[in-house]
Amino acid sequence: MGRSGGRGAAGATAREASVREGAVRERAVRGAVREGAVPEPIAADGVDGVGALAGLDVGGLRLLQAIAEHGTLTAAAAVLGTSQPAVSQHVRRLERRLGTALLDRSGRRVRLTEAGAVLAAHGQTVNAAVRAAAAQVTALTGLRAGVVRVVAFPSSSATLVPLALARLRREHPGLTVTLDEAEPPEALARLRAGTCDLAVTFAYGSAGSTAAPGLAPRTDAAADAAREGELSGLVARHLLDDPTLAVLPADHPRADDPQLSLSDLADETWIAGCPQCRGHLLHSAAACGFAPEIAYATDDYVAVLSLVAAGLGVALLPRLVRQTGERHPGVVLRPAAGTSARRVYAVTTPDLIRVPAVAATLDALAAAAPATTVAVSG
């Protein structure tokens, strides 16, 4: 037992000595690295370049490019707006991270090693990219450039939107706006999916409803709640209210009636529009005490006008199509009590509203709304 214990003690002493010797060597190497005498060994995971990549940074590449161009650390520091000691420390940090010398400091002027020259060449490319990025961001924030993707429902893209885009072009000719058409549910889905930047939408509710004779104004709490849900988490700006008009054949017995009510048309055959417009017709008719007989349905309001002109039925259309309707032969458009106005919105996201080009487009839509209302009022 005694001899075994002696051998164990001797082994422990030898191991302690080895650990102390290793620690001394490690301190010596780290000291040499701090003095720039030797590079820090590269980590094993850097053999394939992954570790080396982790040691690179844009500032380091730009620094080496400045040293290559100006020849001294002091001159590079002056160009970069920093001090010579800060430049020297930055280079040494890069050398430690990459595990190789980047500068030869043996002469009066520093000289890039082969590795340093490679990185300096990339620094020139980085400098150009940084300048280009800064110029592009400046142009975007200054509204000299930028693309805004707008999705709008058809009757707004024929009336409100052109006025807004013309104004935007006058005030910010560098902006590019693309326009696509979609009904509100699809437009809002595209906005949430990130495939458009701004949606022009509408919703029917109790706001703007007109009462039929002998009936109280309709209050549609469900429609109001649905609208709030559709816009939840988005930024919506009210642009205008768009009243509903009845569309009748020109030879209809009530074509010249200035006091037309929806209930006066209870026995007619109906032509329905888009799903939301059809829902508005059904709710309004129910409030007036009848269920409309819908024989035709189309999203195309020009087709609705043609069907009415052919004597196939009557319809409800928004006032935004009034100018088109009045030019269409064989139809008349009349206000009808018992219907609701739809509320038209420009909608975007909380992040996109901070993009100057999107905000400018929204402002242009808001500015065009009063002129649009005047134009379609007749």
Buried b (16+ CB within 10 A) or exposed e, 163-199: bbbebbeeebeebebeeebbbbebbbebbeeeebbbb
* Between 59 and 343, the higher pLDDT residue: 343
As a whole number of angstroms, the distance between CA 97 and CA 99 comes to 6
Model confidence pLDDT, tens digit, residues 220-279: 544 554 556 678 889 999 999 999 999 999 999 999 998 899 999 999 999 999 999 999
Average pLDDT over every residue of 55-83: 84
Please state, in angstroms and rounded to a whole number, the distance separating the CA atoms of residues 1 and 273. Answer: 102
Lowest mean pLDDT, pick from 18-27, 258-267, 357-366: 18-27
Which one of 3.40.50.460, 3.40.190.290, 3.40.50.150, 3.90.1150.10 gives the CATH number of domain 147-377?
A: 3.40.190.290
For 96-115, the pLDDT digits (tens) are 888 889 888 876 678 889 99
Span 181-204, average pLDDT: 94
Residue 26 has pLDDT above 80, yes or no: no
Beta strand 314-318 pairing with 269-272: parallel
> Is pLDDT of 35 > 60?
no
| pLDDT greater than 90 at residue 182 | yes
> How much of the chain, in percent, has pLDDT values that exceed 90?
49
User: What is the structure's pLDDT at 136?
Assistant: 66
| Best CA proximity match to 133, nearest among 61, 58, 193 | 58
Mean pLDDT across the stretch 61-86? Answer: 87
Higher pLDDT among residues 210 and 359, named by residue = 359
Assess whether pLDDT exceeds 80 at residue 285.
Answer: yes
Question: Average per-residue pLDDT in the chain?
Answer: 80
Reported as a single tens digit per residue, the pLDDT across 294-344 is 999 999 999 999 999 999 999 999 999 999 999 999 999 999 999 999 999
Highest mean pLDDT among 89-93, 271-275, 312-316, 348-352: 312-316
Architecture of domain 41-140: Orthogonal Bundle (1.10)
Distance between CA atoms of residues 367 and 171, nearest Å: 12
Mean pLDDT lowest among 168-177, 227-236, 316-325, 358-367: 227-236
Count the neighbouring beta carbons within 10 Å of the beta carbon of residue 271: 26
Q: Quickly list DSSP for 164-207.
A: HHHHHHHH-TT-EEEEEE--HHHHHHHHHHTS-SEEEEEEE-ST
Tokens of 217: 């104004």
Longest alpha-carbon distance in the chain: 126
Going from N- to C-terminal start, the domains of the chain cover 41-140, 147-377
Average pLDDT for residues 356-372, to the nearest whole number? 94
How many contiguous H segments (helices) and E segments (strands) does the chain have?
Answer: 14, 12
List the end-to-end C-alpha distance of the chain, in Å, as a whole number: 115
